[in-house]
Structure 1
């Protein structure tokens, strides 16, 4: 059976005719063979062709096989090539000397070709296994370097949930030392911001053999919260049983902050910090759905400042901006936490008050707002007197949609201005 087509042999003998039968036999079984006739040539051929196995006669015309073997083992390129001595010596001391010089085996002359073939096959099997092992070790080294140099936090837990491995990025991101977390449960990273059902869902996915992907809010050793994009996968053994879990976490805190900032800018007025017109209408529609289900009373206030234009004209737009912020501050100080104020545009403000007991409770709050806006403001070291006109509409009396309620409150606000300003009106 020809099973060793990839195995090359360097045979070293000063009388190659002695090897003819053996060489032909080995070639017939798939080995490729090159011959050297002295020690110096053997050393040169070994460096040039890098054979898989060297068959080396001890007795050579220039330097003996022991010297050749020693030179080969001292050479970085040839030190790992297995050397097998061929000899007619039966003296044990000669064999010991051969092994001491670096040989791995002995073949005694006269050769038994079947024995030689068996030895060649055995040594070539060892060579291949060593090569496979070396490649696997190199792959493991690459993987280890990749894991250690990864910017993502990587850790492995056993089936009990005990951490068995963490990389350097895990320590850098979380603030924990490796010795502090080995044997611990990943619960040390819990922020308390996710409920039990959230973690149950993750666990159910993992124990079913699937991978979970998502975002988590974690907590560092110092208590600081941070966002991660996480991938958690089960690790299986040869029998497809889960033995461990691999978690890869990427710190996305800055990205989340940017997203939150963009979302805030898209939904809020940049000057006052109140929700903008689009966001106010969206939230009003949402609260109306709830009010319809609960059959509860809801009030809408539409407020326009009296005398704001004169402030802008006399003191400039910077002063007008400061005034709008002061108005916002006074407005927020009066409203409940369940109420929502928005800047509708310019000097127009809107408010919705959900779940009010009756119209009177709304008008009492509105009177406080009118009173607060009529008090002096100090802008650029000048005392300024303005006021506000407010129109009020009620759900469901004045409409069932956000647009209907805003329109009714807007009309009531204009009626307040017609009736002398610095007051509120409710249309019939």
Structure 2
């Protein structure tokens, strides 16, 4: 397989460091085969020197660490997600939005959503019904927005959607209307039917703020 350009450049830099006197080093690299499948490897390298202390060559051991790497990746992703809805949790939602803000001047839209009278729904119909409502809203949001948008559950019945790279403000109104219309129908489960509505607040980056907290405050 072939290494990515970034990994290949990293290895070249490492060899230069060996030439300058580095004695040993480890690196993690991803190799891609001709079918496009990738695997992670650990390269453990040591320099061999001549009698004068000059580096003669570098020898290395290649270890397949793909399984450990993927398990770690899955664990990291799980830690970023809300267990019920599988949306980003509050901490990762804020971190991802701030990461976008720090790297982009492109306009974005911050949408704050909360379910109206959710406590009453929970109290009268039970937490299982409430959980079903939250999961349904999460499913609706995932179906309406792009993979590049950031969708998170930031409180009991509070959700945030951050739309990245927005050129037309009209698209925000359209999305908001589609969310509201999804909640106009009664929400049914096996044992109950309840009319559910939600409220949406919107702020625009960078016009209304340049931090997560500022945008949240303006949208709330």
Does structure 1 residue 395 correspond to structure 2 residue 205? yes
Q: Residues of 1 paired with 2:208 and 2:61: CA distance?
A: 55
Deviation at 1:367, TM superposition (A): 1.1
Q: Describe the shift of the 1:298–1:234 C-alpha distance in structure 2 as closer, same or farther (beyond 3 A).
A: same
Deviation at residue 364 of structure 1 after TM alignment: 1.6
Residues 394 and 221 (structure 1), Cα distance of their counterparts in 2 relative to 1, 3 Å cut: closer
Query: Per the alignment, in what secondary structure is the counterpart of residue 273 of structure 1?
Result: coil
- Cα 1:319–1:213 shift into 2, 3 Å: same
Q: Which blocks of at least 5 consecutive residues in structure 1 are unaligned?
A: 1-187, 411-428
Deviation at 1:303, TM superposition (A): 0.3
Distance 1:288 1:298 in 2: 9
How many residue pairs match? The answer is 218
Offset from partner CA, 1:10-58 (integer Å, 9 cap, x none)? xxxxxxxxxxxxxxxxxxxxxxxxxxxxxxxxxxxxxxxxxxxxxxxxx
TM-score by length of 2: 0.80
Distance 1:259 1:193 in 2: 23
Shift of 1:330: 0.7
User: Of 365, 372, 379, which residue of structure 1 is paired with 2:182?
Assistant: 372
Partner-residue secondary structure (3-state), 2:154: strand
| SS of the residue 2:59 aligns to | strand
Cα distance 1:408–1:209, how it changes in 2: closer, same or farther (>3 A)? same
What's the CA shift for 1:192?
4.6
Mapped pair 1:341 → 2:151? yes
- Tell me which protein shows more strand as a share of its residues: 2
Indicate the residue corresponding to 2:165 in structure 1.
Answer: 355
Tell me, yes or no, if structure 1 residue 242 matches structure 2 residue 52: no
C-alpha contact (below 8 Å) 1:323/1:379 kept by paired residues: no
> Take 2:110 and 2:36, find their aligned partners in 1: how far apart are those partners?
42
2:29 is the alignment partner of 1:216: yes
Q: How does 1:233-312 map to 2 (within 5 A)?
A: 233-237=46-50, 240=54, 242-243=56-57, 245-291=58-104, 294=105, 296-312=106-122
Shift of 1:238: 5.1
Quote how far apart the aligned CAs of 1:356 are. Answer: 1.7
Deviation at 1:231, TM superposition (A): 1.2
Structure 1 residue 256: deviation in Å? 2.8
Q: 1:229 aligns with which of 28, 33, 42?
A: 42
Q: 1:375 to 1:259 in 2, by over 3 A?
A: same
TM-score, L = length of structure 1: 0.44
SS of 1:352 mapped into structure 2 = strand
Deviations 1:176-196 (A, max 9, x none): xxxxxxxxxxxx4x4658554
Where is the helix percentage greater, Structure 1 or Structure 2? Answer: 1
Q: Per the alignment, do residues 308 and 251 of structure 1 end up closer, same or farther by CA in structure 2, a change over 3 Å counting?
A: same
User: Residue 142 of structure 2 corresponds to which residue in structure 1?
Assistant: 332
Q: 2 CA distance for matches of 1:376 and 1:249?
A: 59
Pick which of 280-289 and 218-227 moved more.
218-227
Distance 1:222 1:329 in 2: 33
Q: CA deviation at 1:371?
A: 1.3
Higher relative contact order (CA 8 A, sep 6+): 2
What is residue 137 of structure 1 aligned with on the other side? Answer: none
* In 2, Cα distance between equivalents of 1:353 and 1:323: 23
Shift of 1:328: 0.7
SS across alignment from 2:203: strand
Cα deviation, 1:93-126, whole Å, max 9, x if unaligned, reads xxxxxxxxxxxxxxxxxxxxxxxxxxxxxxxxxx
SS in 1 for 2:137: helix
In 2: Cα distance, 1:289 partner to 1:222 partner: 36
Label 1:223 to 1:281 Cα distance change in 2 as closer, same or farther (>3 A): closer
